[in-house]
Amino acid sequence: MSEEIADDPNRKTIELIEKCIAMIGEHCTSVRLIAVLPAGKGDSTIYTTGSGDFYSQIGAVKEFVIRQDEFSKIRTREDASDDT
Question: What pTM does this model have?
Answer: 0.68
**Mean pLDDT for back-to-back runs of 10 residues, the chain (84 residues):** 63 93 95 92 92 95 95 84 71
Q: Are 18 and 35 in contact (CB under 8 A)?
A: no
Q: What is the pLDDT of residue 84?
A: 63
Q: What is the pLDDT of residue 75?
A: 83
C-alpha 31/C-alpha 25 separation (Å) is 6
Q: What is the pLDDT of residue 5?
A: 57
C-alpha 52/C-alpha 26 separation (Å) is 10
Alpha helix segments (H runs only) across 7-53? 11-25
